[in-house]
Structure formats: C-alpha cells, structure tokens
Chains A and B, each alone.
Chain A
Amino acid sequence: MCGIFGVMDKRRQMMDGSGIRQALSMMNERGSGEGAGYVAYGIYPDYRDCYALHVFFDNARESKAAVDTTLEQWGTIEHDEAIPTYDQPNLRATCTPWRYFFKPDPSLAPGSASPEKEIITNLVMQINAGANGAEIVSSGKNVGVFKAGSSRGAEGAGGAGSRPEAVADYYRIEDYEGYIWLAHNRYATTSPEKWERPDPFNLHDWSVVENGKTTTYGANRRYIESFGYNCSTSTDSEVIAYLIDLLVRRHGLDINLAVRALAPPYWEEIDRMPEAEQKLCRALRFAYGSATMNGPFTVVAANPNMMVGFTDRGKLRPMVVGECGDRLYIASEESAIRAMEPGVESIMRPAAGETVIGRVAQ
C-alpha cells in the first residue's frame, strides 16, 4: 500500500536527502509508482524565525496575488520565491511549488495561547478551502514538505509513474539538509488524479506520514471540523495532522496521551489496568472517542523536537524501528532502514499500541 520512513538525529546532526531517497526507493513495491513526498526539519536556518509556507499554485500568475494579499493582511512576507524544481521524464508537474517565509502578527490573534500558530492554522484552512488554485502544503518554521503525485497518464503507464526517486530528483532532495526526515510513497487509493494528494501532510509544527487507510475518516473528519479545522483533501493524514494539533497544542495533551486517544487500548485491557491508569484511559476514550482511528495504519509524525511512531491497535500494518548511534529510524520495512544505515545496531518491531517516541536533545 504505502511505504513510510522516518529518521531523526537526536543531536541535530544534519543529513542530506540522498539517504532517505535511497531508503524510500527500497520500498517501491509498496508505492506502485504513484507519487511520493518528503519532509525535512532544519532546512531553512537562514529563516528559522519565519513560518515557511510551501504553496502549490495551479497557476501562479492567476492565484499568487490573492495569496500575497491574504498573507500581508496577517503578517509580513520576509521573502518568497519559486521552489527550485528539475523536470523529470516520468513526472508530470501540473502546478508550481512556491515558498514564502512569513511572520504572522501575533497581535491579530488576541486571547490565544499560541497566537502565531492560530493565525497560521486559520490561513491554511482559509486558503486551502477556497477554490483559488492555491494549496498550502507545509507551514512550519524551518521545515518543508516536498511532494508530488502523478496520474496514470501516458508517462505513468505501466506503473513507472512517479517513483520516489523521480520526486526526489524533481526537488533535488539531496540538496537539502535536515535533522528529521520523513518520507512516504504511495499507492493512490483515492483520487489519484490529484497532484497534491500524497502524504506527507503538515500543519506548522507537525508533519505526518501514514501507511494505511483508516475506516474512521468520516467520524474523525466530522469531529475535527467541529473545532474549526477544514479538511480539504479527503486524506487521512491531513485529519491526523489536525487531530494531533488539536490534542497537543490546543488541548495540552502530551504526545503519549494524544496517541492513546487516537489509538486507544481496548476496554478489556483498560479493565485490567491499575485504577489510576484505568481512570485516565477511560477519560481519554470518553473525551476523544470521535478522534479514535480504526482500520489499518502506521503513522510516523514529527515536530521540531521529536519523532513519533504508532500503529492501529491491532497492528494491521508493519512498523519497524531501528537505532544507530544518535539516529532513530521508523519504517515500513527493515530493508529501507538498512539501505540508509547498513550498520544499524538494533531493530525492533513494537507491538500494537506501543508508541515509539524519539526526542531531540535540547
């Protein structure tokens, strides 16, 4: 179905994108040549105080002015430019990727505990919901999402399509250096014609790649939309990114509890827990029942300080964890980890419900 890959360096040592390009290509079978995406933390040190907005324009000439105006209403554009791309024979680009380095004006979101992020969240919702030919695909500080899908057009026929390498080469991923990388290749199960569809999904701090397909999209979407989030792509990972933002930023749950809300233990297990834990787990299911995700999935999510991996509570999708020195790897397949790190020191396969969290040393 999909292959996902995440790597994090605890000491913020930079890795260029060639390793992850190599790792992802090991899982081509899972992707079936239907697009791929990469996310890297730490790539924009010169603009580390700005929110890096990666925007896809269907037609930059037509829609960029409107986005510029909206952004200027809410803050200052420090710099903007087209994201450099390099044509690939097997990749049909249908939009122009652009990046803005943007400083929101916190005084415009009074009363919020995180005014800048509140503004960014609203901008993402507003711009992505409007039928204006613009989509913000990443919006965090010092982070960027690079992704592309492909239709099974003439170029893609026979499954060659946009293999992960083609997407990596299109953006020349190896030119970027980050301390956390996530990647995803996919078999497009919904609307493969949409260029911007594949993972990763990002909302300022959090980026998400998912191997799977939840059966709770309808319930999760209705839930998250009741908090003002707007899901514009019909994609699980978009909802997951928003759910994590809601639980962690707005409701103040620590990431462990947030994951327990998304993939909670079964009642039978809860019944057997010591009382305090039981109470906590019951409360989480009471409060966040509609955020529970079902169906097969493995999720790897990251923010500037950590990388997290978890599976559905039945573990219907694989999750392999590797460690080597300061590096933590989470992937769909061991071979992918070995492709990037042949000397990997330990390989683990966490059980269902076991969350893997790696934190960057502060």
Chain B
Amino acid sequence: MSSNFGSIPLRYRVSIDREQCMECGRCIDNCSYGVFRRDGDRILINSRKCTACHRCLAYCPRDAIMLEEHPCDYRSHPVWNRQVREAIYNQARTGKIILAGMGSVANLPVIFDHLMLDACQVTTPPTDPLREPVELRTYLGKKPSRLDFRRNSNGDVELSTELAPNLMVETPILLGHMSYGAISLNAQVSMARAAKETGTYMGTGEGGLHPGLYPYQDRMIVQVASGRFGVNIDYLERGAAIEVKLGQGAKPGIGGHLTGEKVSKDVSRTRMIPQGSDAISPAPHHDIYGIEDLPQLVRSIKEATGWKKPVFAKVAAVNNTAENVAAVARASVDAIAIDGFRGGTGAAPRVFRDHVGIPIEVAIASADRELRKQGLRNEVSLIACGSIRESADVVKAIALGADAVYIGTAALAAMGCRVCGNCYQGLCPWGIATQRDDLVQRLNPDVASKQVANLIHAWTMEVTELMGAAGINSIESLRGNRDRLRGFMLDEGLLNVLDVKPVGA
C-alpha cells in the first residue's frame, strides 16, 4: 500500500559532468547503494539512494561527479525543520523506530571548541619536546592511594603495597570498541596492527574475537556486553584486559543492535549466534539489576582469569554519571570508560542518538570531581570517549580529568570513512562497516593500518607539543589540571560544572 506522502525530497543530488565523463563505469562498481546504473553507453543516476559517502567521487578518474546537499528546500521554518518533518513522514509511513548510524547530528554547541588550552611564555617557560622528555606513557588500572613500606634485613626501604595489574600505553590514545559485525574483519585487523605498531590497545566491541585477530591479542581489550556474544573463557584469556559494557554514549539506556544483514557466516561463528539473525543485546545485563551485582560479575571475570588482567567498565554519559562512576569504581573495576552522547555507533534509534545523554566534557569533569570527593580517584582510571575529534580534544579531555581517551569515528575516518552515517545498512562502500565480501576486500589492511598508525602517531606528537607549550612534561601532571584550560563564551553554570575559569581570569 503506498502512502499519502508521495516521495520525500532528495537529500543529496548527484550529477555527472557529461563533458568529462568517459563512461568507464567505475562509479557503478563503487557505489554499493546503487545510485548509478548503465543504460547503453549512458550512466543514469538515482540520487535518492545517495548517502554522500564520497566513494564515487574518490574513484572517478575524471573528477566528473558532483554532489550537492539540500537540492530541494522545505518551506523555511525554524522549528519544523527538514529533519523533524522527514522523521514524521518516515514514521507515519512505516510505524517503526528510525535507525541511524554514526554519532549524533543534533545541532548543539561542542564544549571542547569553547575550551582554550593554555601556554607558557616568560614567567614560566614552555618545555621543548624536541630537546626535553615529555612523557605520554600512561598506566591504566587501579593505583594505590598511599603506599606502605617495610625495612628489610639490610635496613633498606622496601615496598609492601602490592600493585594491581595495569595496562601500559605509550600514548593516551586508545582505539575504542567496534565489534566484528558492526565493522569488517579487515577494518579490525587494520586497527589491531596500528595498535601494535603504536604501543596502544584496541577494543573488540561485543562481537567476540575472530581468529584473524589472535596475532594481536596482547593488544586487545575484549568486551563483555549484555548479549555475551562470543564470550567464553578462551576469549577472556586472550585479551590483555576485559571490558564490561554497561552502556554506550550513542544509545544510553538501551542494548546493542546488529542488523541480521550484517551477521555473515563468519560473524555468526565469532559471535556464537545464528547466521542472518539480528543480534540484540539487552538493555541491562540480566545478572546485574543492582550495583551489588556488578562486583560479582567483575570478580568472577577476574577469578576466571587469575586476577592478572585489569577489568574495565564502560558507561554512557548521563546526568548522574558521577554517581554511576563512583558506584562502578567501588565494584572492583580498574578503569571506567565514559562514552559521551556524541559517540559513534553502527546502529541506534535516531531518537536516542540525538536526544539522550550528556556531553563527554561535562561527564568526565563531574566524574573526576566526584571520585576525588569520595577519595576514589586512584581506584580507577578514566577513559573519555564519544566525540574525540582531534589531538586538542585529547588534551582537553585529560585536563578535565581523564587518564586516556578512546577514539572510534576518528579511527574509521583514518581508514577512509566519510562519516556518511549509513553504517547500519551494511553497504559501506569503503569496506569498513560492512560484511559484504566484495566491499570488505576494498579495505587493504596493509594500507589502512598504516593510516591509523599515522593518525595516532600524529596526534601523539601534537599532544606532546601542546603539553610542552603548557610547560608540562608528564601526562599525570596534565590530568585534571584545570588551570591549563579556560572557557571561552561558556556560561557561568557550565564553567562551574567543568570547574574551569573563563578566559582572561
């Protein structure tokens, strides 16, 4: 039954400069969404299917393709804008929840962009990272709040405090969790190689650990989500650390969702679920209905793995993040990742992605404050994630209280992702968020791993320079260092929550 709406106006318009086009057909091959087709020796275009993924533009040998946004204007209206109306039309037609991929597109100010970093001049000189050490080495895990000593028979001072296992990273930038299923094996392998090369770690996401990643298992943080996909003792033992996923920034309060189209044979084996079935992890873990249940899960994971690996937990940034984080910190957890509301996702209900949660800047600042207030800051490391876009964001997140950051979308972009936001369709023309064999083959792990490693390396150098400019030579000294930040055009209430002074103060 057709709807009353007719068709919704195009989002993008694709056109070909016919003077330039040589009818080679590469655009047809490259566009997995089926925008182009051949009619005799002419290339026909169906712009309606275009996602602005830019694959065709990147591979047209003649630069003949043009892509524009908003070719058709809605009646201008400040409230009933295009997005709002299209959502209504689509839902009126289908009666369903609208899915969306990648991070939020809500038009809200980015707090990171209103925080300025500080630098030294003459009363305090900057540090020159080319000539003096600037230490980015970060240990993630529990730290003692104080130390106990004893004197040995020689009268030397000896430490009697036992240190908990920590993950050592040479840069505060880690690759966040993106599951096999949501992204391709080639994409995971590319990131795993980059993690190995740069001395950092990557998260497996909730999709299990494919044997293709075993060579990099000492660089993997394996995830245990509510669906328990792919979780068994072998999986837990392979990881360098284990992360319990309690929530995700793009969709706080709900579980994970992997559409059946992406559950290929290999994915089904790795996740331990039937091929072609939707993989839906529940909103809560069905063995955690109160905070008292979490330590039991965490300790049983530790017990199962001989208390040798740090166990992380990931929570979505919500209004009472501080309280949640303090509770999680008391649950034997070694590090907590806080995922901001702009975090990426393979698939989320649009209404969650754009309307639930709070910015990571605020969440990390208030979590750090609450942990300090309760004397728990050394009990856990904090990892900020969900919208870390550049090295300055890394430095700002750390100054707001994080120990390290996870990057997700930025790593995908380093592999070629154009942030088109259609990951949930499983047709990613860049071979990243897809399981279709021919598309997966488009991503060459040799090349992509180099690109990701380059990005981490470049950001790491920039972080070093920014720290040097601020006269700071160890990452511990940047952590929670609010003096190195100033708020520009932020209101007083927000400055108070962030505990940051305004510029000029």
Interface residues of A (CB under 8 A from B): 1, 189, 212-219, 221-223, 225-226, 251-254, 257, 264, 266-268, 276, 279-280, 282-287, 289-290, 292-296, 313-314, 316
Residues from 476 to 499 in B contacting A, C-beta threshold 8 Å: 476-484
State the CA gap A286–B479 with chains docked (Å). Answer: 13
Is the beta-carbon distance between A282 and B373 smaller than 8 angstroms?
no
Give Cα A47 to B131, complex, Å. Answer: 52
Q: Answer whether A219 and B477 are a contact pair too, CB < 8 Å, given A213-B123, A279-B159.
A: yes
Residues of B within 8 A of A222 (CB): 372, 480-482
B163: interface (CB < 8 Å)? yes
A296 to B124, CA, bound (A): 7
Across the A-B interface, the 9 shortest Cβ-Cβ residue pairs: A218-B483, A289-B476, A215-B471, A219-B481, A286-B143, A226-B372, A218-B481, A294-B477, A216-B477
The 8 Å CB contact of B482, one of A215, A218, A254, A276, is A218
Q: Are B473 and A314 in contact (CB under 8 A)?
A: yes
The stretch among B132-140, B290-298, B354-362, B455-463 that forms the contact with chain A is: B132-140
The 0/1 profile, CB within 8 Å of A marked 1, for residues 92-134 of chain B is 0000000000000000000000000000100111010000110
Contact A286 B127 (CB under 8 A): no
A254 to B156, CA, bound (A): 12
A296 to B483, CA, bound (A): 16
Max chain A C-beta neighbours (<10 A), residue from B120, B147, B478: B147
Given contacts A266-B135, A292-B474, A286 and B144 within 8 Å (CB-CB): yes
Q: Is B7 an interface residue (CB 8 A)?
A: no
Residue from the list A214, A226, A287 in contact with B373, Cβ < 8 A: A226
Q: How far is the CB of A89 from chain B (nearest CB, A)?
A: 29
A284 touching B147 in the complex, CB below 8 Å, given contacts A226-B372, A296-B125, A314-B132:
yes
Question: Chain A contacts of B470 at CB under 8 A?
Answer: 215
A1 to B372, alpha carbons, bound, how many Å? Answer: 33
B132 neighbours in A (Cβ, 8 Å): 314
Contact B375 A295 (CB under 8 A): no
Contacting residues, chain A, for B144 (C-beta < 8 A): 283, 286-287
| Cα-based distance from A121 to B470 in the complex (angstroms) | 32
CB distance from B501 to the nearest CB of A (A): 10
Question: B157 — which chain A residues lie within 8 A by C-beta?
Answer: 254, 257, 280
Residues in chain A near residue B473, CB distance under 8 A? 294, 313-314
- How far apart are B457's CB and chain A's nearest CB, in angstroms? 19
Across the interface, do B163 and A283 meet the contact criterion of CB distance under 8 Å? Answer: yes
Could you mark each residue 154-194 of chain B with 1 if its beta carbon is under 8 Å from any beta carbon of chain A, else 0?
A: 00111101010010000000000000000000000000000
Q: Residue B133 contacts which of A226, A257, A268, A293 (CB distance < 8 angstroms)?
A: A268
Contact A251 B471 (CB under 8 A): no
How far apart are A123's CB and chain B's nearest CB, in angstroms?
23
State whether A267 touches B378 (Cβ < 8 A).
Answer: no
Residue B353 is within 8 A (CB to CB) of chain A in the complex: no
Q: How far is the CB of B44 from chain A (nearest CB, A)?
A: 61
B472 adjacent to chain A (CB < 8 Å):
yes
B145 lies within 8 A of chain A by Cβ: yes
Contacts of B143 in A (CB 8 A): 286-287, 289
